[in-house]
Every structure is written in C-alpha cells, then in structure tokens.
C-alpha cells in the first residue's frame, strides 16, 4: 500500500520552491486514488490541511489572489490535526495576506485625526513608466544614448508604498508626533537592512501584536510586521495601525467625514498629500481671534473667508497610461459662509458648449456664466424686435450669456499691411440670441464709426456658403459677427468664422481625436475646461518667430507634436478641484543625449544652427565675381569658437589644433584637418550637417567651403535628400565655394522638400534661393 508522506511547513516558506508545492499538491490526489478507501482518520484530515496550505501559498505568491488564499489558510487552521508549529506558520501567512490587502489604501491604516498625510504609491512602476514615455529609459537599441538604466530602477521598483501621518504639531514639544507605514514590497534588501540596523541602534521592547518591536533613541517605536514596517512616536499609534490591518478601520483617515471627499480617487497617484484642518481647528480659531482683535482688515477678511469652515487641502501627482496628471483640491464644511468661494462659483459647462469649438484647434478655453433660461426679456419695439437699453448691457453679462468659449486655430491670417492676425474667435451661447446680436451689432457699429469710417455704423455682409456674416472694420481691421441659432461668434479672422460655421455643422471638438474624450460624462460637473495642443501651437510659433530664433528652438518644437494639456475645474457648494492631464509626453531622450554629449565634449546630434549671415557671404561672392579672384585659402585673424551645443566635438587634440589654426588665420592648414574631424560624423547626417553649418556660417566659411563640400554631400546622400535643412546647408556651401548655379538648384530642392513636408520653416530656404538668384543675375551682368 502506497502512502504519501505529509510535507511539513514548520517555518515561513520552509520548502525551497513553489514548484515543489505544486508537485506535492498535484501528486496527492493521484496517489490517494491508488489507496483502498478507508474511514476518515486524523492523518487524512491532516493531509487535507496540507493541500489547503499548498493551494493557498500558490494563490498568494503566484496568482496574487489574496482573498482566496486567506480562505484556504483559514480552512487549514480549522483542521484539528495541526501541530503548534504548523498553526503558527499558517497564521503568519494569514497575517501577511491581511497586511498586503490593507496596503491597497494606506489611508485606511492611519489615524482619522491625522493633521497632514503624505502617501507614496508604487514609485518604481510609475517612475519607470514616465521615463519610458520621455525616452529616458535605456533599452537594448539605445546603448549609446544618455538614459536611465532599468537596473538602476530595480532598487525601488519593488517598493509598494509608504505613508506618513502627522498627528501632533506642537512647536513647544519639539519633534511632531505621528506614524509611518512602509511596505517594502519586493525590496528584500531594504527590509533586511532595517532588520539588521534595529537591534544595533535600538532597544528591543515588548512585541506589539506578536511582532518584534524596538525603541530607537528613546523616542520612536518600530515594529516589524510580516509585510509592513510601522514606526510611531507613540506605542499606541502602532497598536492602532495593526488593529486596522485586522479590519477595524472605523477610526481611520479614510473613514473620516472631513477627509473622505479629498481621498476619493487618490489610489493611483504617485504622490498624494492631504492637510486636514479639523483636528487643529481649535488652534486656528484661537489664532484668528487674536489676529482679528488686532486688525480691522484681518477681522473683515476672516468674515469674508470664513476660515473656520476649512476642512481639507489636498493634491496629487500620478502617471497613468503614459499621461502625467496633477490635481489640487479644497473642501469646506456644509453651510459655510466663505464669500470668496461662492462668488467664484459658476454653473456647470454643458456639453453643447463643445459644439461651438471647431475640430483641430490649437487651444481653447470654455466656461459657463449663467444657467440656461430660454425666453427673452427686456424692451422691444412695436414689431417685437429688441431695443437695446442701458439695462441690457448688464443683463447681457449677468443673465443672458450662458456659455463662453475662446478658441485659436493653428494658422494665421494676413491683416492690413501684411500684419499677422490670429485665427481666433470668441463663441457664446445665449438665452436671447436676438437681443445679444443687437447689443453686439450696436457695440461693433459704434467702434466702427468712431474709428473713422465716416461715422458709418452699418455692417457690411459677407457670405460663407449660404450663411451671412456681418463685417465691421475697426482701425482698418475686419471684425466679423456670426449668429447660428442661439450662438454668436466674434472674430477678426474670416477663417475662424468659417471654422465656427463648420463646428455648427458637426465638425466640432467632439470629433477631434485629440480632445474628443473631453465631452460626455467626464465633464458633467466641471465648471471650466481648457485644452492646448502643443504641436498645433508650435505651428503658430513657426509662422511668427524670426528665422534666427526658429533655428534655435525648432528642434524643441518638433518634440511637442503629440503633446497636449487639458485642465478642468470642478466647483460645487463645498468643493473646488483643479485637475490637469498632460498627454503625449515628448520623447526627449535623443535630445537630452545630444545635449549631454555636447556638454561633455563628445559631440551631440547638433540640433541648433547658429545665425547665418547671408549679407557677409553675398559680399564675399560679389567681390570674387568682380575681381575674378579664387576663394581665399588663408584669412587674417579669422576666429571660430565652436560652442558646446554644436554638433562638432569641442575637445580633443585634433579639434584643439584646428581651432588654434583658425585663430591664427591659417585656414589652409585648418582645412586639411576637416576630413579628420568629419570621421566622427560618418553615418550621422544630422551631426555632420551641424558641424558644416557651424563652420560655413563664420568668416572663415568661404575658405573652408571646398573642404566642407564632400562632408555635406555625404550627409545629403545618407539622409536620402529628405531633409531640407541638410539640402539648405549644402546650397550655402556650394554658394560659398563659388558654384552659384549649383547652389540655386540645390536650394530649389530644399524648398520643394519643405513644401512636401508642409514645414513653414521652408520660407527660410525660399529666402536663400531668392538671394542666390539675385546674385547670379548680378554676376551675369558683370
């Protein structure tokens, strides 16, 4: 007869691997099936306890199903055949599971009268996610980049969380009172270090709930739980934490009426804080009473702000789905009399507000001023048309306007004298559209007449399809007024009005892939909303920035193409909360790597181009064309200082010699070193482009041009002619070398590539092409 020897578990995790547990668990029923059926016996009962233990251990450590594991552990404990050692071990696992479950919300473990609460939640995982999104986490394909190694993060990836709760702040008592709860998670080294240091630096005292406890420097108790490490300035604080672990959490911060609203939804935050004013309100009231008695202004402020009603101030930072979120909230007690809080309160933004904002906007802001209340009020004429009175001006703001939205498109229109005019507009939904239209028509007409339009107040009419748009001209600038149902749109840009017309027809922000998620239930209680597409804002910047600045910041703007920021506010009768989300975080890894490499003198990718002086180069070409002289091989005192931010190396014997030769004016000898320096850029067209540009845009550039030409030609070939920047650099080198016709042909290619990529910076290439053509004509006349 085959008998299975029951496995013992006398110490925590006494068997070497989970695999052994599973093997025993799987073999037990198979072997048992080969035995004759016998009446139940104590031995078979003990065998069932073994099975429960092994299954529970597997669920706890491999599946993370702690609830199911605890149920099986309890089943094993109920067995009547366990030895005291086995029972102690199972109860230890039960305790560990209870502590693990309790750490799902550390606010459930700290006192309800905590004054200030700080929480850190899985910092390793969230930090890794953030660094990966930013391109700063090192991978196998980025061995040469400056990035954080995942191995460096392994030291904190296992940290489950930590919480600090201050329960006493008394300056006269010295150190504040409170409790710290730490869950090292998988960081065995941290726990081991604490376990090693406590006996050496602390005094062993009576255990708390059976856990080893130490007194450090006579002030702080530290208790080592199965999973948690709890430290407190008072022994009772630790006892209360362990009691809450067992399930009695009625006096925890999470169960506190004053902090419940602030704690809602904070579980995913990387960092969270909550200041609870209720425990210290007597101190606050005493201080305010003294302050109010000393100053009438302070007494008035106290009456207006009603500080006694303050309950919590909270905030958090989190990383969710690759997005960075930030929140800040303020809560007051029911029935408060905070006048400032009430004055700033607005109605909730309606979903129809978003139907006024076109799809594809660079940015927008929307808020609600009044509740929807259809039906006109005020004076009308005999035909029922609204007559604008002085009272209507106040009524428009304080009663008629419902929602207001400001939006900006990623484009610019041309105003008087070529002045750029932003494609922006203000859209409004109103209760009485006819009266609002009459008020704005009057206001714009008065402004038009006063600006010199021969006193003419009548608007002109433009048409967008079948829709009429009123046009006023104020100081030479057109201002358009458009009405659609109960909405009015005012803008100095006809393009913005056209976009508003399309929004009314359905192409609004609710269909915008970037902002579509804003509409619906997510905003049912928001009082204001704002959104920015950084990539679309960058398009506006490229249209208005000077070429020199654009060269410097262009690479940074490119990083923001997918980034967006959305911020909302929620204002109820007792709560104000500001929430924001930054999505599409840029991949800054390559840029950071380039900057660090450049700073360290190893040469970066060269993402900035110093200012090009076309006037100086043009004069040099004109001089050569007039005199027939060849390009100068030496110059008098030409100097070049390659900044660390350039793509070229700024250290090393060869570079130092090269710069010294240029400083001496020995350009011919310096030119001989250019191919040696260029070896560092083989296979890196962007770096080679930066290196060449740094040199060609100096006084020595013309003399260095023959040596630089093969380098930039190789860069063009490596980039397959897809970069207008590199083509533009080649054209300037050809121009400096005397090949004006070649420069013109290359610059035309650069212009075309920029147009194909819809890059507004291509205007820079167009300007260079115009200069080259102009100089070619002059040379031909000579």
Condensed to tens digits (0 to 9), the pLDDT of residues 664-706 reads 778 888 888 888 887 777 777 888 888 888 888 777 888 888 9
> Measured at the alpha carbon of residue 68, what is the angle toward residues 64 and 72, in degrees to the nearest 5?
120
Average pLDDT of the segment spanning 166-176: 78
Highest mean pLDDT among 218-222, 352-356, 611-615: 218-222
Residue with tokens 């001006």: 393
pLDDT score at 239 = 94
pLDDT at residue 523, as a whole number: 58
pLDDT band at 393 (very low <50, low <70, confident <90, very high): low
Which residues sit opposite 232 in a β-bridge?
A: 179, 221
Whether the pLDDT of residue 628 is over 60: the answer is: no
pLDDT tens readout for residues 499-516: 999 898 889 988 888 887
Per-residue model confidence (pLDDT) at position 534: 92
**C-alpha span between 198 and 189 (Å, rounded):** 14
Q: What CA dihedral angle connects 8, 12, 16 and 19, to 10 degrees?
A: 80
Amino acid 643: pLDDT: 36
DSSP one-letter code for 417: G
- Nearest Cα residue to 490 out of 475, 471, 510, 512: 471
Q: Is the pLDDT of residue 476 over 70?
A: yes
Asked which of 133-142, 201-210, 242-251, 662-671 is least confident by mean pLDDT, the reply is 133-142
Q: Determine the pLDDT at residue 634.
A: 31
Architecture in CATH for domain 589-781: Alpha Horseshoe (1.25)
- Res. 604: pLDDT tops 90: no
> Cβ neighbours of residue 70 under 8 Å, at least 6 residues apart?
56, 94, 97, 98, 101
What is the structure's pLDDT at 477?
Answer: 87
Residue 209 phi/psi, 5-degree rounding, is: 55, 35
Residues of the chain with CATH 1.25.40.10: 589-781
Residue 3 or residue 448, greater confidence? 448
Which helix (H) or strand (E) element contains residue 392? helix 390-395
At 71, the pLDDT band (50, 70, 90 cuts) reads confident
Q: What would the DSSP string read from start to end of 130-163?
A: HHHHTT-B--TT-TTS--B-HHHHHHHHT--EEE
pLDDT for 221: 94
Helix (H, G, I), strand (E, B) or coil at 180: strand
Which pLDDT score, from 0 to 100, does residue 119 have?
A: 92
pLDDT at 600: 57
CA nearest to 254, candidates 107, 117, 120, 111: 107
| pLDDT digits 0-9 by tens, 20-55 | 333 333 433 433 344 444 333 333 344 477 778 888
Upper half-sphere CA count for residue 471 (Cβ side, 13 Å): 15
Average pLDDT, the chain: 77
Backbone angles phi, psi at 177, to 5 degrees: -100, 150
Lowest mean pLDDT among 285-294, 368-377, 443-452: 368-377
Q: What is the mean pLDDT of residues 473-496?
A: 90
pLDDT of residue 20: 33
Query: pLDDT at position 380, please?
Result: 57
The pLDDT confidence band at residue 640, using thresholds 50, 70 and 90, is very low
Higher pLDDT residue, 751 or 293? Answer: 751
* Predicted local distance difference test score (pLDDT) of residue 576: 92
Helices (H), 424-561: 433-450, 494-504, 534-544, 547-558
762 or 404, higher pLDDT = 404
Residues 358 and 508: their CA atoms lie apart, in Å, by: 4
List, in order, residues 6 or more apart from 68 with CB less than 8 Å away: 56, 59
Q: What is the mean pLDDT of residues 288-298?
A: 79
* Confidence band of 522 (pLDDT split at 50, 70, 90): low
Query: Among residues of the chain, what percentage have pLDDT more than 70?
Result: 77
Q: Write out the DSSP string of 46-88.
A: HHHHHHHHHHHHHIIIII--HHHHHHHHHHHHT-TT--HHHHH
Q: Given a cut of 70, is residue 518 above it in pLDDT?
A: no
The more confidently predicted of residues 79 and 256 is 256
Range 24-31 contact pairs with CB under 8 angstroms and sequence separation of 24 or more: 24/50, 24/54, 25/51, 25/54, 25/55, 25/58, 28/4, 31/2, 31/4
**DSSP-derived secondary structure for 522-587:** GGTT-SEEEEEEHHHHHHHHHHHS-HHHHHHHHHHHHTTTT-EEEEEEEE-SSEEEEEEEEES---
Which among 474, 470, 482, 473 is positioned nearest to 428, based on CA atoms? 482
Pairing of strands 177-183, 401-414: unpaired
Q: What is the pLDDT, as a whole number, of residue 661?
A: 80
Confidence of residue 366 (pLDDT cuts 50, 70, 90): very high
Q: Read off the pTM.
A: 0.64
Q: What is the Cβ-side half-sphere exposure of residue 423, based on CA atoms within 13 angstroms?
A: 25
pLDDT(367) > 70: yes
606: its two tokens: 């060269």
Task: Assess whether pLDDT exceeds 90 at residue 164.
Answer: yes
**Above pLDDT 90, what percent of the chain?**
19
Q: How confident is the model at residue 16 (pLDDT cuts 50, 70, 90)?
A: very low
**Angle formed at CA 222 by CA 107 and CA 178, multiple of 5 degrees:** 45
pLDDT for 560 beyond 70? yes
Q: Is 414 helix (H, G, I), strand (E, B) or coil?
A: strand
- The model's pLDDT over 737-764, given as tens digits with 9 standing for 90+, comes to 888 889 999 999 999 988 888 777 778 8
The radius of gyration of the chain from alpha carbons, rounded to an integer in Å, stands at 37
User: Which residues, 6 or more positions from 238, have their beta carbon under 8 angstroms from its beta carbon?
Assistant: 179, 208, 213, 221, 223, 230, 231, 232
Q: Which has the higher per-residue pLDDT, 697 or 17?
A: 697
Confidence label for 375 from pLDDT (cuts 50, 70 and 90): low
């Amino acid at each position: 007869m085959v008998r299975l020897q029951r496995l013992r578990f006398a110490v925590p995790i006494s068997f070497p691997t989970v695999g052994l547990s599973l093997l025993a668990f799987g073999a037990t029923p198979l072997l048992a099936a080969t035995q004759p059926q016998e009446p139940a016996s104590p031995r078979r009962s003990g065998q069932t306890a073994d099975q429960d233990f092994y299954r529970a251990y597997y669920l706890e450590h491999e599946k993370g199903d702690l609830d199911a594991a605890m149920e099986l552990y309890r089943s094993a404990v109920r067995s009547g055949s366990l030895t005291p050692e086995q029972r102690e071990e199972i109860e230890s696992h039960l305790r560990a599971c209870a502590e693990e479950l309790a750490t799902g919300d550390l606010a459930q473990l700290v006192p309800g009268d905590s004054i200030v609460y700080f929480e850190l939640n899985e910092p390793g995982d969230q930090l890794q996610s953030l660094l990966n999104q930013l391109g700063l986490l090192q991978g196998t394909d980025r061995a040469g980049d400056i990035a954080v190694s995942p191995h460096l993060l392994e030291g904190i990836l296992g940290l489950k969380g930590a919480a600090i709760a201050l329960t006493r702040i008394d300056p006269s008592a010295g150190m504040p009172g409170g409790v710290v709860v730490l869950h090292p998670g998988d960081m065995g080294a941290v726990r081991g270090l604490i376990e090693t240091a406590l006996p050496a630096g602390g005094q062993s005292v009576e255990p708390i709930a059976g856990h080893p406890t130490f007194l450090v420097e006579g002030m702080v108790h530290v208790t080592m739980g199965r999973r948690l490490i709890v430290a407190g300035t008072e022994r009772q604080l630790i006892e209360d934490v362990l009691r809450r672990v067992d399930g009695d959490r009625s006096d925890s911060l999470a169960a506190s009426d004053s902090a419940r609203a602030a704690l809602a939804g904070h579980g995913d935050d990387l960092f969270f804080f909550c200041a609870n004013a209720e425990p210290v309100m007597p101190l606050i009231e005493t201080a305010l009473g003294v302050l109010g008695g000393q100053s009438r202004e302070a007494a008035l402020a106290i009456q207006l702000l009603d500080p006694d009603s303050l309950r919590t101030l909270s905030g958090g930072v989190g990383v969710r789905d690759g997005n960075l979120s930030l929140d800040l909230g303020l809560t007051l007690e029911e029935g408060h009399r905070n006048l400032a809080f009430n004055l700033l309160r607005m109605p909730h933004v309606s979903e129809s507000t978003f139907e006024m904002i076109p799809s594809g906007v660079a940015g927008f802001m929307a808020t609600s001023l009044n509740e929807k209340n259809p039906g006109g009020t005020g004076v009308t004429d005999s035909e029922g048309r609204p007559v604008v009175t002085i009272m209507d001006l106040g009524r428009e703001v304080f009663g008629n306007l419902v929602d207001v939205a400001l939006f900006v498109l990623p484009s610019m229109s041309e105003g008087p004298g070529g002045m750029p005019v932003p494609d922006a507009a203000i859209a409004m939904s109103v209760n009485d559209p006819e009266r609002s239209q009459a008020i704005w028509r009057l206001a714009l007409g008065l402004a038009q007449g006063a600006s010199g339009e021969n006193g003419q107040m009548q608007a002109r009419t433009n048409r967008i399809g079948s829709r009429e748009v009123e046009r006023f001209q104020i100081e030479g600038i057109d201002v358009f007024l458009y009405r659609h149902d109960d909405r009015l749109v005012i803008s100095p840009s006809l393009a913005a009005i056209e976009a508003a017309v399309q929004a009314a027809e359905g192409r609004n922000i609710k269909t915008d892939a970037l902002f579509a998620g804003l509409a619906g239930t997510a905003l049912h209680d928001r009082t204001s909303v704002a959104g920015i597409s950084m990539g679309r804002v960058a398009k506006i910047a490229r249209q208005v920035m000077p070429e020199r600045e654009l060269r410097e910041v262009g690479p940074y703007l490119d990083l923001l193409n997918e980034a967006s920021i959305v911020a909302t506010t929620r204002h109820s009768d007792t709560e104000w909360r500001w929430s924001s989300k930054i999505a599409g975080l840029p991949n800054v890894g390559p840029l950071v790597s380039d900057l660090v490499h450049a700073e360290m003198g190893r040469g970066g990718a060269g993402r900035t181009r110093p200012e090009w002086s076309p006037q100086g180069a043009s004069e040099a070409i004109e001089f050569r064309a007039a005199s027939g002289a060849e390009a100068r091989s030496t110059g008098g005192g030409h100097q070049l200082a390659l900044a660390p931010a350039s793509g070229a190396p700024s250290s090393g014997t060869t570079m130092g010699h090269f710069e010294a030769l240029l400083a001496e004016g020995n350009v011919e000898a310096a030119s001989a070193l250019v191919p040696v320096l260029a070896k560092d850029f083989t296979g890196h067209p962007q770096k080679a482009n930066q290196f060449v540009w740094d040199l060609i845009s100096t006084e020595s550039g013309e003399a260095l041009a023959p040596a630089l030409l093969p380098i930039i030609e190789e860069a063009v070939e490596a980039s397959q002619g897809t970069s207008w920047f590199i083509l533009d650099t080649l054209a300037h080198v050809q121009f400096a070398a005397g090949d004006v016709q070649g420069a013109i042909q290359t610059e035309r290619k650069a212009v075309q590539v920029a147009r194909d990529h819809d890059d507004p910076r291509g205007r820079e290439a167009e300007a260079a092409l115009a200069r080259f053509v102009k100089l070619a004509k002059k040379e031909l006349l000579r």
